[in-house]
Amino acid sequence: MSKMPPPLTLHAIAAAIGAGLAPLRAEPPVRLSVWAAEHYRQSAESSHTSGAWTAWPLQIGWMDAFSNDDIEEVTVRKAKRVGYTKTLLAFIAYNAAHRRRNQALWQPTDDDRDSFVKTEIEPMLRDVDSVQAVQVAGKEDTIKLKTFLGSLLHLLGGKAARAFRRITVSVAMVDEADAFDQKVERAVDPMAAAQGRLEGAAFPKFITGSTVRVDGVSHIQHRESRAEAVVRYHIECPHCHLEHPLVWGGKKVAHGFKWDAGDPASVRHLCPHCRQPIRQADYLRVWDGGAWISECGRWRYDHHAGQWLDAAGQPTRPPRHVAFADVWTPYSPQRDWPDIVREFIAADAKAEQGDTGPLETFVNETLAQYWKVQMDSADQHALAQRAEHWPLRHVPQGGLLLVAGIDVQDNRWEVVVWAVGRGEEMWAVDYQVIYGNPADEREWEEKLDPYLFETSFQHASGKALKIEATAIDTGGHFTHQAYNYARLRERRRVFAVRGDPQPSKMIKGKATIQDVNFRGKVLKRGVRLWYVGTDSAKDLIYGRLMVPHPGPGFVHFSKALPAEFFSQLTAEARMPVRTARGTDYRWVNPKRARNEVLDCTVYAIWCTHQLGLHLYTDAMWERLEQALQPDLFAAAGDDAQPAAAPAPTLPTAPRRINRIGRLGSALT
């Protein structure tokens, strides 16, 4: 039996333990806005004023979303100069000093990262005392990695795929997301890759914020479209007491920013409900009473109470993914409203003279809106309307040989068969979606062989045509299955291909010899893989779709094709994309719509180049035509089955052409 010490001693022991353990004791987590008000300091290098910092009412919304463990993803579509960077820095400090969480921040390039670290991160680490307290002397402190007591901060550039590998963090932040490539090293979606670094985190947090750029190719737009709640900052109208966000409005809209012609200083914001005006000073009187409210009306954030509320004003769980939209400059107390109007008037005048650059900058950086560009794209409805009457798997008169392109998806193969004739006039003769499991090599044989080798396509002459050449995309999830399938059928002109989307690549690119994994054994140099210049092929297809009249280059469609065929064929558009070298035009899929028909057609076009059809002379086409002449001497009664035109095709080398000549004469 131990004797209890007197209470005074116990108290002293508890106090001593408490004092000794103080540095290890976790403080109960507080919201970022609360923490930042007490601890965050701005540095002289990056601000007009240094020292204590007060978040604006609207900034509190996304800051608290950053720190809320029930929210996994935060997207911020913002103008320039709305103080976003400060809030991100405060969050980095908060994670290091208060939550001790591993974090990673990506900037568009290594240079961007370097300058961000020097002008923003390092001054912050120096000036925020509570971050000072968790810095560890002697531990790694480089431009790429900062070490704190209990956590790490990775600082990365977004140009290389390896910048999105290996690390595991709880907080992944992508700054200036719209300046990132659509695909890094042609294959990796940088946003998905950054988010992938959160795997296994107890409280994953993915943050993307950016001024946005071109409509349809914006990472932020894609994130925003997937958000559970898209919120805008609403203020209460001092006249009618209804809530509304600030909007630009424009000439055709009765509310929003309005001014008297030639007098930017007269600018006021008209309420969408009562059309009464408020000036900037009125806005600044009511802004603290505002709230972030979702489009759907299900959520609002009360930044005073730090609570998400439902439509009835009751506390509710926050949205798992919240997008803060339209964070444009009039919300900032640092941007003068008349000055915004002046910027617009100047940009608009330039645009009138044909220079849209300043207006694009205004739309992106002041309005926080997407810039819509004129796209080169084909009109699916116009194409469907000009479709002609003939059944699928029939080949109209001018079609002389058949090529097929195959796209492989997780649960199916999609096949488009094109007939090609003189002058590369083309006819879409079949579109098949063959369901199955491409992971299983036997299914390739069972599902594809009958279609590719046994289907008879009946030609208008009464003869039957077979597919001359087939290109299979090997770029998906089933590369080795595709390699094996093509490898065993090279003699039947089944080719393994892979798209190369770099601009100006030849349609028929180089071939490489690939090892193949066949039933667990590596076959060295087992298959030839051909690269397809997809950008050039799409240019060619698009150009042909614009050919107005039947004849060379014209593309024919059957009325029997489904509407889906036309929407997929026209899913992509050529759009300007900003790159390190300036503006480049690329084929993009702005709505991320299904586009397998276009891909199949790209591979079929590659087949025509592989067969050399683009180099055919008149005499060569004529031989193909002769081979399909109706056979006047066919035995009567024998015409139930159309006779297969015996591979009259297949050319490129003169030797082969002679062979066609012989076959052609044998038929007559």
Using CA atoms, how far apart are residues 153 and 172, in angstroms rounded to an integer? Answer: 10
Under the binding rule (CB under 5 A), the answer on residue 286 touching Zn ion is no
**CB of residue 362 vs Zn ion: minimum separation in angstroms?**
27
Choose the stretch contacting Zn ion; rule: CB under 5 A; options: 8-16, 263-271, 478-486, 505-513.
Answer: 263-271
User: Using CB atoms within 10 A of its CB, is residue 486 exposed (0-12), middle (13-18) or buried (19+)?
Assistant: buried
Among 152, 161, 201, 274, binds Zn ion (CB under 5 A): 274
- CA distances for 187 relative to 159, 160, 630, angstroms: 12, 11, 49
What does residue 252 show for φ and ψ, rounded to 5 degrees? -90, 0
Q: Which stretch binds Zn ion (CB under 5 A): 12-20, 135-143, 267-275, 568-576?
A: 267-275
Of 149 and 274, nearer to Zn ion (C-beta) is: 274
Least distance to Zn ion from the beta carbon of 242, Å?
6
Q: How far is the CB of 268 from Zn ion (least distance, A)?
A: 12
**Residue 197 to residues 71, 91, 365, 380, Cα–Cα distance (Å):** 17, 18, 29, 39
Site string for Zn ion, 186-225 (x = CB under 5 A): ----------------------------------------
The amino acid at 458: Q
Residue 142 CB, nearest approach to Zn ion (Å):
54
Least Cβ distance, residue 244 to Zn ion (angstroms):
7
Site string for Zn ion, 373-392 (x = CB under 5 A): --------------------
Q: Between 106 and 257, name the residue whose CB sits nearer to Zn ion.
A: 257
Q: Cβ closer to Zn ion: 247 or 471?
A: 247
Please choose, out of 144-152, 208-216, 233-241, 550-558, the segment that lies near Zn ion by the rule CB under 5 A. 233-241
Least separation in angstroms between residue 255's CB and Zn ion is 9
Angle at 334 between CA 285 and CA 36, to 5 degrees: 85
Q: Is 176 a catalytic residue?
A: yes
DSSP code of residue 117? I
User: Among the options 72, 73, 120, 176, which is catalytic?
Assistant: 176
Strand arrangement, sheet containing 494-500: 508-518, 521-533, 494-500, 467-473, 401-409, 412-420, 426-435, 555-556
Going from the C-alpha of 182 to that of each of 55, 94, 166, 313, 467, the distances in angstroms are 33, 31, 21, 40, 36
Structure tokens at 270: 């008209």
> To the nearest whole angstrom, how small is the minimum distance from the Cβ of residue 258 to Zn ion?
14
- For Zn ion, the closer CB: 11 or 275: 275
Tell me how many residues contact Zn ion (CB under 5 A): 6
Task: Decide: is 239 part of the binding site for Zn ion (CB under 5 A).
Answer: yes
Q: Supply 308's token pair.
A: 């998400």
User: Measured from the CB of residue 41, what is the shortest distance to Zn ion in angstroms?
Assistant: 39
Distance separating alpha carbons of residues 230 and 224, to the nearest angstrom: 7
Choices 227-235, 237-245, 487-495, 603-611 (CB under 5 A): range interacting with Zn ion:
237-245
Cβ-proximal residues to 295 (8 Å cutoff; 6+ apart), any chain: 229, 230, 231, 232
- As a whole number of angstroms, the distance between CA 169 and CA 100 comes to 11
- Contact with Zn ion (CB under 5 A): which of 81, 255, 273, 594? 273
Q: Which is nearer to Zn ion, 271 or 402 (CB)?
A: 271
- C-beta of 269 vs 498, nearer to Zn ion: 269
Question: 189-218 burial, b for 16+ CB within 10 Å, e for fewer?
Answer: bbbebbbebbeebeebbbbbbbbbbbbbbb
Q: In the complex with Zn ion, which residue's Cβ is closer, 204 or 272?
A: 272
* Binding piece for Zn ion, criterion CB under 5 A, among 211-219, 271-279, 512-520, 589-597: 271-279
Would you say the C-alpha torsion 597, 601, 604, 606 has a positive or negative sign? negative
Applying CB under 5 A, which of residues 30, 37, 240, 460 lies at the interface with Zn ion? 240
Q: Give the burial class of 52: count Cβ atoms within 10 A of its Cβ; 0-12 exposed, 13-18 middle, 19 or more buried.
A: exposed
Residue 237 in the binding site for Zn ion (CB under 5 A): yes
Q: In sequence order, which ranges of 494-583 are alpha helices (DSSP H)?
A: 534-545, 563-569
Residues marked active site are found at 176
Site of interaction with Zn ion (CB under 5 A): 237, 239-240, 271, 273-274
